[in-house]
Amino acid sequence: MKTPIDYFSNLEDPRVDRTKEHLLEDIIFITIAAVICGAETWNDIENYGKAKESWLTQFLRLPNGIPSHDTFNRLFSSLDPQCLEDSFLEWIKDVADLTRGEVVSIDGKSLRGTRDKGAKSIVHMVSAWASQNQLSLGQVKVENKSNEITAIPRLLHVLAIKGCIVTIDAMGCQTEIARKIIEKGADYILAVKGNQGSLENEIEDTVRFSVHVDQWEDSDFGHGRIETRKCFVYTDLSHIDKPERWPELKSIIKIESVRYIKCEAKEERECRLYISSLRPDAKTIGESIRNHWGIENSLHWVLDVAFGEDKSRKRTGYSAQNFAIINRIALNLLKNDKSKKRSIKGKRLDAGWDNDYLIRILKN
């Protein structure tokens, strides 16, 4: 059985042969292991390697010892991120058992530390997250002078999402994106705001003049607040201009949420609109929309808080993009480990202290 590291053993080495003092597979292994154990910088990775050198020699050849932080930096700055991403995707396709109806959330995240002083450009990644499997399924970089609208189809192209429900915020509410999702054998739920011409007004007319065909309500309590959500589903498309533009469009959705904050004795109300290719099942649609926020709470927030991604200052070449992939590899491995009921931070500490536990994670 292949281990996760095996999927990255055939990467194309960007270095000139005469400059290779360290093996590519050694550098990749040390980097992934170090990041699992809490490393956030190239210096951290070098220091981890030196601290664990005698242990690492059990698995690696290390012909010239532990690479320097400059070596790690140079390699990942020049390594083709598409090759690293392809290896990541090959691994995910083998380990991710996406069941029919699983919610796959797609959303963007800026790596704020990648902006040079006085520069406008910043590395922005669009990621896909499987809510039930709790796995990052893939990511693509938004090209400079572009936006998520062009990046999302590229991400969808490489994902295996047949039978899944893809949720995207208003930026991804585009006919071509909807068509791509249907072509992949999945369903879509797309948030609607004012970026789609008159579509938002047309949906508001649907809600105002039509009768919903299904309704679902959900409440939760915690963190000093009570929140109630109501999902209303409509199937009358007569108010939508050229509804056939949206492939397999079947449902118009309104989500009403009321949040009561106890300490402030304040009530907040919000109404959100969506279109979907799903049949009018308010419970399934309502739960899918709620699960969409898992990408913020379980992926983006964890990457920023536990992995320090937002404050990372990697700016040379492809280093930021490649390190973002390494972070997601480490996060998937940590989440895939069910042997301990610990937070991601706790598992990283345990992996740094316990080599046997680290090996268990790397074999997941």
CA-to-CA separations, 28 to 5, 50, 101, 310, in angstroms, rounded: 8, 15, 35, 22
Q: What pLDDT shows up at residue 285? A: 98
Q: Which domain holds residue 39?
A: 4-87+315-362
Residue 186, C-beta contacts closer than 8 angstroms, at least 6 positions apart: 104, 161, 162, 163, 164, 165, 166
How many Å apart are CA 232 and CA 225, to the nearest integer?
23
Q: In what order do the strands lie in the sheet with 214-222?
A: 135-141, 123-130, 103-111, 165-168, 187-192, 266-276, 251-261, 225-234, 214-222
Does some domain include residue 27?
A: yes
Q: Give domain status of residue 51, yes or no.
A: yes
Number of other residues whose CB lies within 10 A of the CB of residue 263 = 7
Task: Supply the DSSP symbol for 68.
Answer: P
Q: For residue 260, is it within any domain?
A: no
Is position 272 within any domain? no
Classify residue 143 by its DSSP letter. P
Instruction: Single out the residue of 335, 324, 319 nearest to residue 110, CA to CA.
Output: 324
Inside any domain, residue 337: yes
Considering the domain boundaries, does residue 269 fall inside one? no
Could you tell me the pTM of the whole model? 0.93
Number of domains in the chain: 1
**Residue 150: enclosing H or E segment and its boundaries?**
helix 148-158
Contacting residues for 335 by C-beta, under 8 A, at least 6 apart: 134, 135, 344
pLDDT of residue 120: 56
**Tally of CA atoms within 13 A in the half-sphere of 91 that contains its CB:** 30
Q: How far apart are the first and last CA of the chain?
A: 10
Query: 283: burial class by Cβ within 10 Å (0-12, 13-18, 19+)?
Result: middle
Residue in the block written with tokens 């969409």 = 292
Is residue 133 assigned to a domain?
Answer: no
Six-digit token string for 67: 């690479």
- Pairing mode of beta strands 251-261, 225-234: antiparallel
pLDDT values of the chain reduced to their tens digit, one per residue, 364 residues? 578 889 998 899 999 998 899 999 999 999 999 999 999 999 999 999 999 999 999 989 999 999 999 999 999 999 999 999 999 999 998 888 888 999 999 999 988 777 665 555 788 999 999 999 999 999 999 987 678 999 999 999 999 999 999 999 999 999 999 999 999 999 999 999 987 789 999 999 999 999 999 999 999 887 778 899 999 999 999 999 999 999 999 999 999 999 888 787 788 999 999 999 999 999 999 999 999 999 999 999 999 999 999 888 888 899 999 999 999 999 999 999 999 999 999 999 999 999 999 999 998 7
Spatial contact of 130 and 159, defined as CB atoms under 8 Å apart: no
Res 116: pLDDT: 62
Q: Is residue 203 part of a domain?
A: no
